[in-house]
Chains A and B, each alone.
Chain A
Amino acid sequence: MKRIVPPMVVLTVILGGWYALAYSLDNNFASGDGSALIVPPPHRLFVGLNDPTLDRIVSATWISLSAALVGFAIATLVGIVLGVAMAFSRAIESALWPWLIAVQVTPIIVLTPIIIRVVGGTFGARVMVTVLIAFFPVAANTLFGIRSVSTPLHDLFTLAGATRLTRLVRLQLPAASPTIFAGLRIASGLAVIGAIVGDFFFTRGTPGLGRLITFFFQDTRSGPMFVTALVASVIGLAFFLVIAGLRRLLISPWHRP
């Protein structure tokens, strides 16, 4: 009960605020059919959601979801490999770290048009945008997780004559895994944001969720626009929950922060 009540209270506040906003905005409802133009009230969210619109949302969901999934998987791999490489060598760290930060702080809306220009408006380009926005927290957390392994544990492996690979696989990666999972949790949200924000720039082919939101906005179809945004949120939430579930399965039994 204690776990359910607080979020329900927040949900009630959000819905109340939503209704207040919908009915307080000037010219929010069309004078003819009374359809919402900017913010639909929650109970009218699905008005105007006909079959063709639903089909468009489903195909856009598939495009954004697959870009986010593939991008997240690659970002995880790239992030862990970069983190391990930097943890193993100060030279690699000092060579790469400033550039990784530079990529991280450069707005993705600056990079996306360049990527599209170079790679083309392909699925690969969508994935690349997602990877660029999502890999950094994984790389940084892998690096700091590996560096945080205590000296006595390293000493144990030194006394046992462990190779670098043994040390990495049996000590450093498991010890860093709670930190890596924290990075994955952030990256999972960023991957979805990357897939959707990057999509604004993909003007050819079947639109993803980002471009579909733009279409519905331009057509003043606020109901479908909000539903599309809701789908994007659900995908983000699903990513987050999958990572949280994996963490609970793999890390929580033994990890006490």
Chain B
Amino acid sequence: MAITTRTVVHVDGISHTFGGALALGPLTFAVHPSEIVAVVGPSGCGKTPLVRISAGLLEPTSGAAIHSDRRPGSVGYVFQEPALLAWRRVADNARLFVTRRDEPIVERLLRVSGLADHAAKWPHQLSGGMKMRLALVRSLAASPDLLLMDEPFGALDQITRHRLHDELLSLHVDQRFGAVLVTHAIDEAVYLADRILVMSGAPGRIVEEFAVPFAGRRTNELRYSPPFAELCGTIAASLGRHA
């Protein structure tokens, strides 16, 4: 993957206090165009505040998250829950913030994600996996430069989760967005990311960084390969040391 020196977001020395206590940082990292960066860390280390600060939704106590593009829609966000608008049908949720010009993108995303046949359904008629797929489609419909994902697959069963991983990767091949994926699951981070940042326990700081060496299209077989297992083990050991 070609990484340029341009960044889609530069998280510069941010920290965040909560109830007077330092909960996060200081930490610095950057995400380059079309790069997927995974962030793993123990519970309570400040992963969600980190994503919210990266999105510009939460003001850091110090430092800043600098985006290369500040236009509305340049940052996509997939939450832990699908956060769908219950009163809008599937297709209308997907095109929530897009202009008429982006309509073909929505159509294509719905088709690629297998939701085209469900376009007229209400969100409550979808399964958990389909809801999350729709949340992903909605986030990508405005062609964001940066996609932020806060444990989006945590509530799904393993088969659905693996299927969504592949869908995310194929959408990424299509759209080449930069992404930050916060997750508890080390195997998810290794399968999806180009780079993995390991965070310490609270106050969360980046304590180690791993480049993921798997070139080319990632398939399910990769999950059962020795290098994959080895990298997962290394990251787990790192987490254990710094938790």
Contacts and interface: CB of A to CB of B under 8 A. Distances in A.
Does B bind A?
Answer: yes
Interface residues of B, number: 23
A192 B83 CA distance: 39
Of the candidates A152, A174, A175, A256, the one having the most CB atoms from chain B within 10 angstroms of its own CB is A152
A158 B57 contact: yes
A150 B86 CA distance: 12
Contacts of B56: 159
Contact of A155 (B73, B79, B85): B79
B177 interface: no
A167 to B, nearest CB: 12
A99 interface: no
Chain B contact surface mostly: loop
A164 interface: no
A255 B86 contact: yes
A156 interface: yes
Interface string B97-133: 1000000000000000000000000111000000000
A160 B122 contact: no
B55 interface: yes
B124 A155 contact: no
Interface string B62-97: 000000000111011101010101111000000011
Nearest to A153: B83
A163 to B, nearest CB: 10
A160 B55 CA distance: 11
B214 to A, nearest CB: 31
Given A159-B57, A160-B72, A152 B87 contact: no
Given A159-B75, A161-B73, A254-B124, A177 B87 contact: yes
Interface in A200-238: none
Contacts of A159: 55-57, 72-73, 75-77
Nearest to B124: A256
A160 B143 CA distance: 12
Contacts of A162: 72
A152 B77 CA distance: 9
A219 B75 CA distance: 75
B72 A161 contact: yes
A212 B96 CA distance: 55
Nearest to B144: A159
A168 interface: no
A174 B84 CA distance: 12
Given A153-B83, A159-B57, A160-B97, A254 B123 contact: yes
B73 A153 contact: no
Contacts of A37: none
16 contacts: A153-B85, A155-B55, A156-B77, A156-B83, A156-B96, A156-B97, A159-B56, A159-B72, A159-B73, A159-B76, A159-B77, A160-B72, A170-B96, A175-B87, A256-B86, A256-B124
Interface of B: 52, 55-57, 71-73, 75-77, 79, 81, 83, 85-88, 96-97, 122-124, 142
